A and B are shown apart, each in its own frame.
Chain A
Amino acid sequence: QQQVKQSPQSLIVQKGGISIINCAYENTAFDYFPWYQQFPGKGPALLIAIRPDVSEKKEGRFTISFNKSAKQFSLHIMDSQPGDSATYFCAATQFQGAQKLVFGQGTRLTINP
């Protein structure tokens, strides 16, 4: 019930291509879905987040698509750049109390120049 499943584990994309990372969840009480980006030697940092009342959120080249009925959400990176090479984590939480995040397994994204 608490799991968030993320795929793929690793992804290689050519510069200028579209990177797509998928996540699925079970707990229908989750109401906040962030994506975190982590560069080597750094802690994760919030990239973009969505609530289930919208099906899509776009910030620059980064878009979250959300499918409430399928309990799935995905991150799309348009015009992928070598600087986007990082590990990406999806997460989910109920926005209450201490806001415990449940994280996916992570995706190591490599953008080839």
Chain B
Amino acid sequence: DVKVTQSSRYLVKRTGEKVFLECVQDMDHENMFWYRQDPGLGLRLIYFSYDVKMKEKGDIPEGYSVSREKKERFSLILESASTNQTSMYLCASTGGGEETQYFGPGTRLLVL
């Protein structure tokens, strides 16, 4: 079974802090994604990566950056957290020509 794990289930941070969210997948997938989920807005793509050290902006990249130094790990960085970044963050991966995206359990981030 594909497993996607996220470093934290819940995080509470202060405005202006730098925040790191980490995601690890164990299926050697080449594609990895970061989404945020907000009620009534569905899942919106922040960034994705189709290879090590490669990244592309999604629909809402402002205020975020990403890092992919190893194939199995994809990190989302909030350079200076703001209250409007309070949300559920979901990581997903896919690869090997497969269409299914496999999601982690999510990180619920509260920025005070």
> A interface vs B, CB < 8 Å?
2, 6, 9, 32, 34, 36, 41-46, 49, 89, 93, 95, 97-101, 103-106
- Chain A residue nearest to B44 (CB atoms) is A103
Query: Which of B60-68, B72-80, B93-101 sits within the interface?
Result: B93-101
Q: Are B43 and A103 in contact (CB under 8 A)?
A: yes
A43 & B104 in contact (Cβ 8 Å cutoff): yes
CA A27 to CA B35, docked complex, whole Å: 21
B109 smallest CB distance to A (angstroms):
15
If the complex has contacts A98-B31, A99-B31, A99-B94, are A44 and B103 also in contact, measured as CB distance less than 8 A?
A: yes
Task: Give bound CA distance, A11 to B39, whole Å.
Answer: 15
Question: Please, which residues of chain B bring their CB within 8 A of the CB of A36?
Answer: 103
Given A44-B90, A97-B50, A100-B48: A89 and B42 interface contact (C-beta under 8 Å): yes
How big is chain B's contact interface, by range?
20 to 34
- Contact status B4-A43, CB under 8 Å: yes
Contacts of A43 in B (CB 8 A): 4, 90, 92, 103-106
- Inter-chain CA distance A43–B25, complex, in Å, is 14
Residue positions of B touching A, CB distance < 8 A = 4, 31, 33, 35, 39-45, 48-50, 56, 58-59, 90, 92, 94, 99-106
Chain A residues near B104 (CB-CB < 8 A): 43
User: B100 is contacted by which of A34, A41, A103, A105 (Cβ under 8 Å)?
Assistant: A34
CB atoms of A89 and B50 under 8 A apart: no
Q: Is B48 in contact with A98, judged by CB distance below 8 angstroms?
A: yes
Of A32, A42, A89, A100, which is within 8 A of B45 by CB? A100
When chains A and B are docked, how far (Å) is the Cα of A89 from the Cα of B102?
A: 14
Question: Contact between A45 and B43 (Cβ–Cβ < 8 Å)?
Answer: no
Task: Give Cα A103–Cα B41 distance, bound, in whole angstroms.
Answer: 9
- B103 in contact with A45 (CB, 8 Å): yes
Residue of A nearest to B100 (CB): A46
Residues of B within 8 A of A9 (CB): 40
Question: Chain B contacts of A98 at CB under 8 A?
Answer: 31, 33, 48-50, 56, 94
Give the residues in chain A near B56, CB-CB below 8 Å: 98
Complexed CA–CA distance, A105 and B42 (Å): 4
